Structure formats: structure tokens, C-alpha cells
Amino acid sequence: MLNLKSKVLGLIAGAAMAAGVLAAPAQAQETIKVGILHSLSGTMAISETTLKDVMLMLIEEQNKRGGVLGKKLEAVVVDPASNWPLFAEKARELIAQHKVAVTFGCWTSVSRKSVLPVFEELNSILFYPVQYEGEESSPNIFYTGAAPNQQAIPAIDYLLAEGVKRFVLEGTDYVYPRTTNKILEAYLLSKGIKPEDISVNYTPFGHSDWQTRVAAIKRFGSTGVKTAVVSTVNGDANVPFYKELGNQGVKATDIPVVAFSVGEEELAGIDTKPLVGHLAAWNYFQSVDNPANRDFIARWRAFKKNERAVTNDPREAPVIGFA
């Protein structure tokens, strides 16, 4: 961990040098600026706001340790407002106007793809914290989330081992769910699942009326063959989706739902009793029992001033990227 920490902070220092932070004294900046590019409003704010908070915590902690290269880190926070073209504009603002040395941000792959040309054009660095569909590589992006072979495929293997024979691939209509579901559909076919036993459906960002879709899921799972839902639904659409699952009595014992983008934030404020037994697949859970994770949880709760504050996979990824 210490070796990784020194390498990443060294990377930030190197980026600061490249950005001209260590220029002549007359032009020297007093801080090293770190961009935070997360949606604080719109459909993705439910997921992304706390990622901004994690970065503020990490920057505060590093400053208490003396900063980097003798300079304090300064967070520059912008709100791309769940607007994909605005992500690119805000990325350019961070790099060209605010002169950030590095940026931590995005959640959806469509936002990442929107900003990628900007980071490559201006030769800046983005740390991306969430699972993604793969099939992309850039020297300007550190992908700290899971690729399909690290999250989606193991989840499918688990369901197959549990005897599931019919699959609903339910996703939000953008690049990550579509690409991931193509990978999963091909994988299921290679495992002997019949095409007619795979149902694929997409809904828009912010989708709120799930009655028809949940009813269709119930019909698909009513043949007597064990059925599961693999969910790549993102953002605040998860709230009405899970509410409707509860309303229509879709129990995990009948049709389990395995989600790739749901944590406590997305389910806060709804009655989760009918949802007990549904699943999530991540590379990190708060329940990991080791000293490093116990320390992370304690630091997070102290920063939030909330002894019940929770961590999740996308919040852990910036810690890897930063520290």
C-alpha cells in the first residue's frame, strides 16, 4: 500500500510539473490543483455526489501530511450535471482554465467517452472510478473500476452454478449496459443457454415508470424455469425499479436480481424488507474485514461526521487511485 501510495502521489507530482506548477517563483502556483468532475445534480447525482466527498476527504488528509512537493493540494469541484456534452466542457475548463494537475471523475461510460478526447488533446490525466465495459484504452485514463471479466462474468458464473436457466439483461440505454450485455449474451450462449431464454431490455436514464417492465420480468420468470435479472440500470432509476420489484412481490427466492451499479445510496429511503436476498456484484464491499478497510471506514465516518456512513466499490476506487 505504501509503495502504491508513493507511486500515485509521485504521478500527481509529475503531472504537476508537466502542468507548470513548479515554474519560476514569480509564476509559481501556491497549490497543486486536483479536479473533481462528478455530477452533483441530475439523474447521476444520487451516485456521484459522495465520490466528490471521498476526494475532498483524501485531499484534506494529504494536506494534513504536508501535501505534495511541499505544496498543499487544492480541490477544484465542477458540476457537469449528468449532461454528457457538459462533461467535456467542464473537463476542458478544469484543465485549460483552472490548470489542474490531475482529475478524478465521471461515472457513466458515456461521460468518460465524452471527456476522453479532451484529456488526450490537452494531455492531462483522468482517474475513472467505476466498472466499465472494456474495449477502450487510453494513456490519459487510469481505469480503477472493474472490467466485465472481473465483475459481470463472475456474477453470471455464480447464477449458473445456482441453477439459473433464464436471464433478463435489464439496463439503462447507453454504452456500458449495451456493450456489457452483448458480452454476457455471447457468454450465456457459449454456456448452453438458449436464445429464447435470454431477454434484453433498455430504458432511458431517469426512467421512473417500471410497472410494465417488472410485469414483463414476472411473466418471463413464470415458466417454471429458474430465472434471474442481471441489472445494469444506473443512477436514480434504481429507486423506482426496486420499489416496483417490492410492489409486485418479486422476491429473491423467485427471481433474484443481481445489480452491477447499486449501493446503499441508491436504495436509501425505500423499504428494503421486500428486497432481502437480491444481490450486488462489486470488487469491494464494506464488509471486507482487514485493517486497511477498517481504517478506511473509520476515516470516512469521521469525515462525514456520521457513524452510519457507508462505503462502496466506487468510493473505494478513488482511494486506490489517489492513495
Q: Where are the domains of the chain?
A: 2-146+287-322, 149-280
Alpha-carbon 103 to chain mean position? 15
Phi, psi of 60 (to 5 degrees): -60, -45
Looking at the DSSP assignment, which residues form a beta bridge with residue 142? 127
The owner of cell 490537452 is 122
H helix or E strand, kind and range, residue 183:
helix 175-190
The reported pLDDT for the residue numbered 15 is 56
Reported as a pLDDT band with limits 50, 70 and 90, residue 3 is very low
Residues 6+ apart with CB under 8 A from 5: 323
Residue 45: what pLDDT? 96
Reading the block at residue 255, the C-alpha cell is 427471481
pLDDT at residue 28 is higher than 60: no
User: C-alpha distances in angstroms, 101 versus 111, 218, 297?
Assistant: 20, 50, 28
Predicted local confidence at residue 6, as pLDDT: 47
Neighbours of 291 (CB within 10 A): 7
245: helix, strand or coil = helix
Rounded Cα–Cα distance for residues 303 and 222 (Å): 47
Looking at this protein, which amino acid is placed at residue 301? Answer: R
pLDDT at position 1 over 70: no
Helix, strand or coil, per DSSP, at residue 170? strand
Asked if 23 and 73 count as a contact pair (C-beta separation under 8 A), the reply is no
Q: Report the amino acid identity of residue 241.
A: F
Domains 2-146+287-322 and 149-280 share a fold: yes
pLDDT tens, position by position, 193-232? 999 999 999 999 999 999 999 999 999 999 999 999 999 9
On whether the pTM is more than 0.85, the answer is yes
Q: Does domain 2-146+287-322 have CATH number 3.30.1120.130?
A: no
Contact call for residues 37 and 86 (beta carbons, < 8 A): no
Q: How many CB atoms lie within 10 A of CB 56?
A: 15
First to last CA, the chain: 8
Q: Which three cell numbers stand for residue 306?
A: 456520521
C-alpha cell at 281: 456484484
Mean pLDDT value across residues 3-27: 48
State pLDDT tens for residues 266-319: 787 788 899 999 999 999 999 999 999 999 999 999 999 999 999 999 999 999
Q: CA 263, CA 238: separation in Å to the nearest integer?
A: 10
Residue pointed to by grid coordinates 436514480: 236
The correct answer on CATH 3.40.50.2300 for the domain covering 149-280 is yes
Q: Would you say how long the chain is, in residues?
A: 323
| Cα–Cα–Cα angle for 249, 267, 134, rounded to 5 degrees | 105
Q: How far apart are CA 193 and CA 167, in angstroms?
A: 9
Q: What's the pLDDT band for 265 if we cut at 50, 70, 90?
A: confident
C-alpha span between 150 and 160 (Å, rounded): 16
Alpha-carbon gap, residue 240 to 70, rounded angstroms: 48
Q: Are residues 312 and 282 in contact, defined by beta-carbon separation less than 8 angstroms?
A: yes
pLDDT tens for 228-250 read 999 999 999 999 999 999 999 99
Confidence of residue 156 (pLDDT cuts 50, 70, 90): very high
